Chains A and B, each alone.
Chain A
Amino acid sequence: MDLTLSPSEQAFRDELRAWLAENHPGVGPPGEDAAFDHRRAWQRKLFDAGYAGFSWPREYGGRGATLIEQALFGEEMARAKAPSPANVLGMVMGGPVVIHHGSDEQKERWLQPILTGDEIWCQGFSEPDSGSDLASLKTRAVKSNGEWLVTGQKVWTTFAHKSKWCMLVARTDQDAPKHQGLTYFIMDMEQEAVQIRPLHQITNEPEFNELFMEEARIPDENVVGGVGNGWAVAITTLMNERAGLGAAAAAGVRIALEELKQLARERGAEGDPVIRQRLAQLTIEVELLRLNSWRGLTRIMKRGTAGPEGSLPKWQWAEINQALTELAVDMLGEEGAYWDSPWTYRLLRSRANSIEGGTTEILKNIIAERVLGLPKLR
């Protein structure tokens, strides 16, 4: 057990920290389009420095970073409050799927523009009637004259209106059992048959979208992983690349915690015994999120694959972020009601944390069934 960084890990972190100090793009401008362009420019800068697709194998333009390096990368980005690059979904989900399941032609066509940010990717998985039970999805793809015609509706599609490509899971076999009739497509978003409607969330931001497809066309060569294998391919995206995210999430809430302690000081609440207890509890939980994430990485490196216990940090992070923003707004008192207070925004936004990317209930199911070996309900 050695919880210090090795000399090479230390060197890597110092180099990255120095680079970030030089190249940090600053806080994004107001306005959705301007903010997006800012993130796109940041993506390009990361690419030029070789930091985009950091975890990808070198042969596909990445750096082949170790899990520890990925975790350090996430920690440093969070620590520097760097914006996330524009093409997060492409880099974290789309690219790895193409790398694992794609043909040589598909890799040639799609990988590089993901990293440069020239082509933005979005994700078409969830549907109005298929959230946690994703495999029940109804969007249909029918083959006709060598291409696929897709009809249906998707929801929670981040950056749909900025995207060139959509990772789309659709049903290609109505008669097969629900997990076996699905196919994973890469759909071109630039066509009339795909309509986008912004979905305003409780913060009144249109961070997500609904997608409506009426016979949208997808060429056969845009099937990834083979017809009928969509579930297995989609699962790779969901399970993969989470390894370093726990550490990054921990670094993110650690910064939020520092801001919260600053707030306690400004509001004269730091001597309040109840506030002190709540702050201390959060301090402990933030530290445990970091330690659990690193322990998880150690296990993966020993065993070679990510396991279902990767669900713990996501669940933990959501609880921490929600408790943290609740405490901040409690400390603000009546001013915590103000719509333009940043903490109020964070309070509201944090309610999605226990839903997005796997609800806490689904994560608990995974832990109960696959870590503890309890019987399945279904």
Chain B
Amino acid sequence: MNFAFSDDQQAIKRTARDLLADRFKMDAVRGLAEAGGYDDAAWSELCELGWPGIFIDEELGGQGLGAVELVILIEELGYALAPLPFLSNAAAGLVIAAGGSDEQKERWLPGIASGAARGTVGVLGPDGAAALVPDADSAHVIVLCGHEGRTIVERSAADVEVVKTMDHTRRYARVRANGAGQALEGEHLPGLSRACVALAAELTGIAQRAMELAVEHARERKQFDRPIGAYQAVSHRCAQMLMEVEGARSASYYAAWTAEAEPETLALAASMAKAYASDAGWRVCTSALQVHGGIGFTWEHDLHFFLKRARVDGLLYGSAQQHREIVAELSAPQAAAGVG
């Protein structure tokens, strides 16, 4: 029993933290967010480094590492709030790798791994449309899945309508397949579970950063002649943030670990992680805003970019409430027999 990262995993984490801190200084993030764009040069650089294919098999152009390594990268991408089409592309890779036929994998995964022909995933609503599909406007291929079916469709054949969300750091669209595309051969849920774990990791990184901003502010800002962090009304908020950040982190690491080591637990662990991290991401960011007081409510302060990303991540691929319902189902006594 050992929760520690291997030396290689630690190296991945350090490299990612340093590189992203350099490429995505807050001013750069703000500039991209306000323009509604991504940093293409940074994306090319990450592609050169092989990040998009970190979890994809080597024979399909990836690095052949696992869900834990992916989670490490994504937590850091969340921490940096990097405006990049990384998560959407990873989600497509995860769903196709877990549920695609050999032919589908060979067709789509190399482009996803190299970043040259990106993918994304949307969850279909009852009306046959996916309301919130990250980066659908720029992806080459879109996987639409849900109770209503599972389709791999090229963007050019799909009906893609860009939507503006409160998250300025990521682009979204509403997508319909309109009968085009090809059915994903296998189950989409194992891949979607992995994508939820990735989101939980991103939320962990966002919450960690928001907590750090709050703690720093609470140390510096003085009122009534004292740093406000000396007041328990403020410091206990910060302690609560730590509790929730660590919980989200434990949940996402554990769920990532189950993906390969204990796949029968993945669905439950992934929904636990997504439910908890969705709540934690929002609560930590809102609490951080409260610690900042008025300045935290201004556009000029950076915190709102984190808060908005956290809120939208919380809604994407199932809300906390929806994932709690899955947890209730999967963890009920004698659940094993009832779940299809």
Contact = CB atoms under 8 A, between A and B. Distances in A.
Contacts of A298: 1-4
Nearest to A292: B250
A287 B215 contact: no
A287 B272 contact: yes
B1 A375 contact: no
Interface stretch (A233-241, A257-265, A343-351): A257-265
Interface of A: 1-6, 9, 68, 258, 261-262, 265, 270, 273, 276-277, 279-281, 283-285, 287-288, 291-292, 294-295, 297-298, 302, 309, 312, 315-316, 361, 363-365, 367-369, 371-377
A4 B332 CA distance: 23
B35 interface: no
Interface string B1-23: 11111100100000000000000
B246 interface: yes
B251 interface: yes
B65 interface: no
A284 B261 contact: no
A1 B3 contact: yes
A291 B247 CA distance: 8
B176 to A, nearest CB: 30
Contacts of A288: 247, 250-251, 272, 276
12 contacts: A3-B254, A6-B1, A283-B272, A283-B328, A284-B324, A288-B250, A363-B239, A365-B232, A372-B215, A374-B215, A375-B226, A377-B232
A363 B236 CA distance: 9
Interface of B is mostly: helix
A173 to B, nearest CB: 30
Contacts of B227: 374-375
A251 to B, nearest CB: 14
A255 to B, nearest CB: 13
B68 A284 contact: no
A372 B215 CA distance: 7
Which bucket holds chain B's interface residue count? 35 or more
A263 to B, nearest CB: 11
Interface of B: 1-6, 9, 68, 215, 218-219, 226-227, 229-232, 234-236, 238-240, 242-243, 246-247, 250-251, 253-254, 257, 261, 272, 275-276, 321, 324-325, 327-328, 331-333
A373 B219 CA distance: 8
Contacts of B247: 285, 288, 292, 316
Given A1-B9, A68-B1, A288-B276, A374 B242 contact: no
A312 B215 contact: no
A40 B321 CA distance: 47
Contacts of B253: 1, 291, 295
A281 B272 CA distance: 9
A316 B4 contact: no
